[in-house]
Amino acid sequence: ADDRPDAYEQLVDRLLRSPQYGERWAQFWLDLARFAETDGFEHDKLRKNAWRYRDWVVQALNDDMSYAQFAQWQVAGDLLSPQDAAAHVATAFCLSGPDMPDINSQEERRHVLLNEMTATVGAVFLGLQVGCAQCHDHMYDPISQADFYRLRSFFQPAVHVKLNETVSLLAERSNVDRDKSYFMVRGDWRRPGPEVQPAFLRIANPQRHEVQSEHAGRGRVELANWLTSPQHPLTARVIVNRIWQQHFGQALSSSPSDLGVMGVEPTHPELLDWLATSFVDSGWQVKRLHRLIVTSATYRQAGMSQLSSNMPNVEVCRGVDPANELLWSFPTRRLTAEMIRDAMFAMSGSLVTEMGGPGVCPPMPTELVATLLKGQWHTSPRVADHYRRSVYVFARRNLRYPLFAAFDRPAANDTCAARQSSTTATQSLLLINSAVSLDAARRLAGRVWDEAEGESPGVVRQAFLRALGRPPTSDELASALEFLEAETALITREQRPVSELALPITSTPIAESARAAAFSDLCLALINTSEFLFVD
């Protein structure tokens, strides 16, 4: 144990410096960016270089790129830094949504892409449901249909489509190619109305900034700079609210992509304002914001399950604020789908920490692969790739990896501000029966078996330490040893061939096969505990 007074702060700094920081936080942003490596729809065609955007996000987070630059590059990186390949990759954010390259009408395709892009930029950076104004004025917020098409016109000159080709943003276009932007009557691409010019969203523009550039293609630069202006009323608040949500499982405003009239008012508005102001004053430094939050007394409170009813004020707090909106204790949160898979591999010693590159395809149940078109899921030939971090698992829009689908990873058809946290029978069945869980249990059992040399109390203690991060209590140890004896006897009575037993994967041969298989079952049970799946 680290007995230094600042041991906790040192741990926080070490984690923020770790390359795994970028991998963990990238998935949060990829949800917002509706990232996938395929187009979606019927044919779900491969996007060969989509992974480069995912790798850029990981690297940008690890480099602690300021959020201002992070946002600017994703809106107009090709114009802001035309000689920097990474800046061009960053603009893939705008076009990461679903697409139909083979649609008969390429003009309709372009219209749909522009609308989706505009709605996503509004939701992700402004926290407003701008997309609701595509066909009519927003029902609740002061966002007119004209506002929507003025915002869309920033992107209009850069989006060019060709049949069966992946679309990309073009930094420059000739005057001949430059398109005019129109108000689409009732949102119908076949009914262009009056011409519109680029303009910032009025609801988020109290200073009444106007677009200055006469060059149509440069409008995105002005949009990027406007979004990240220190005086902007929304951008900093939106990202601070999102980061708070990732740490606590609940945002200060629980509608993080809808801060409009129908959104939920913040539980702590002064705190949100203070954090946003501090964030901008610090140069939009994301790691500093993380450190500020996780070293706070609020974050370091005991979790709900750690509080005893006879502790002072606990019952009063539960009566006054049963939903814990005022954060009188740390909220209990389940690991995300990717965290569950990575945790299983990490505890078993099989996690491969190689970074970057095209998405990898771990083995998939044959009955699921059969639902795809031919050749849409080729299991990666290199076995090590099957154990890489989940952020690198190939993201097919039409078929999510089973563990991810069961534990609420979004389908990437739209920007996702907050994942659901469902509790279903499918989750339990998958955790106890899937090949991934069983393999992790066998590898954990083998790792511990080698460390403790098969000695019963020793293997149980090591298994608890590896899986749950703590030794077993005396009652848990007794129950585990009792389970091992009963399970060993059951396996012995069944007289199954050794080839059918779930033996630990060890570095040396195992003599007591029945007892070893029983230990694999114990490790599988630990993976299925709430303590493994939840953070408290």
The predicted model scores a pTM of: 0.94
Going by C-alpha positions, the residue among 118, 121, 149, 124 that lies closest to residue 135 is 149
Spatial separation of the C-alpha atoms in residues 55 and 388, rounded to whole Å: 14
Q: Where are the domains of the chain?
A: 65-227, 236-300, 334-424, 435-535
Contact status, residue 67 vs residue 239, Cβ threshold 8 Å:
yes
Instruction: Give the residue among 329, 402, 396, 408 at the shortest CA–CA distance from 363.
Output: 402
CA distance 115 to 151: 10
Buried b (16+ CB within 10 A) or exposed e, 30-67: bbbbbbbbbbbbeebbbbeebbbbbbbbbbbbbebbbb
Nearest to 359 by CA among 347, 376, 373: 376
DSSP string covering 409-432, please? ---SSS--SS------HHHHHHHH
**Six-digit token pair at 441?**
């249990």
Interatomic CA distance for residues 117 and 177, integer angstroms: 20
Residue-level length of the chain: 536
355 token code pair: 């970074």
Q: What is the pLDDT of residues 316-357, one digit of tens each?
A: 888 888 888 889 899 999 999 999 999 999 999 999 999 999
Q: What is the pLDDT of residue 375?
A: 82
**Closest of 234, 264, 267 to residue 248, by C-alpha:** 267
Terminal Cα distance for the chain, rounded: 20
Q: What pLDDT is attached to residue 508?
A: 81
Given a contact cutoff of 8 angstroms between Cβ atoms, the answer to whether 258 and 241 are in contact is no
Identity at 131, one-letter amino acid code? G
d(CA 523, CA 443): 9
Other CB atoms within 10 A of residue 24 CB: 20
- Cα gap 238→253, rounded to integer Å: 9
Q: Which two tokens stand for residue 449?
A: 């078996």
- Residue 171 confidence (pLDDT): 60
Residues 88, 77: contact at Cβ < 8 Å? yes
Query: What would the pLDDT profile of 154-209 be if each residue is shown by its tens digit?
Result: 998 888 787 777 777 766 554 434 468 899 999 888 899 999 999 999 999 998 99
pLDDT at position 366: 87
The tens place of each residue's pLDDT in the chain, 536 residues long, gives: 688 999 999 999 999 999 999 999 999 999 999 999 999 998 899 999 999 999 999 999 999 999 999 999 999 999 999 999 999 999 999 999 999 998 889 899 999 999 999 999 999 999 999 999 999 999 999 999 999 999 999 998 888 787 777 777 766 554 434 468 899 999 888 899 999 999 999 999 998 999 887 665 678 999 999 999 999 999 999 999 999 999 999 999 999 999 999 999 999 999 999 999 999 999 999 999 999 999 999 999 988 777 766 677 888 888 888 888 889 899 999 999 999 999 999 999 999 999 999 999 999 998 888 888 888 899 999 999 999 999 999 999 999 999 999 999 999 999 999 999 999 999 999 999 999 999 999 999 999 998 887 678 899 999 999 999 999 999 999 999 999 999 999 999 988 888 888 999 988 888 789 999 999 999 999 999 999 999 98
Instruction: Give the CA distances from residue 298 to residues 58, 294, 313, 438, in Å, rounded to whole numbers and listed in that order.
Output: 28, 8, 16, 38
* The two three-digit tokens of residue 98, written as one number: 């679903």
Q: What is the pLDDT of residue 317?
A: 86
As a dihedral over the C-alpha atoms of residue 295, residue 297, residue 303, residue 308, rounded to 10 degrees, the angle is 150
d(CA 80, CA 25): 25
Angle of helix 19-32 versus helix 7-17 axis, rounded to 10 = 70
Question: Which DSSP state fits 182?
Answer: E
Q: Alpha-carbon distance 342 to 349, whole Å?
A: 10
SS3 state of residue 330 = strand
CB atoms within 10 A of CB 107: 11
Model confidence pLDDT, tens digit, residues 397-454 = 999 999 999 999 999 999 999 999 999 999 999 999 999 999 999 999 999 998 887 6
Rounded-to-integer distance, Cα 133 and Cα 318, Å: 41
Per the CB < 8 A criterion, the answer to whether 138 and 144 are in contact is yes
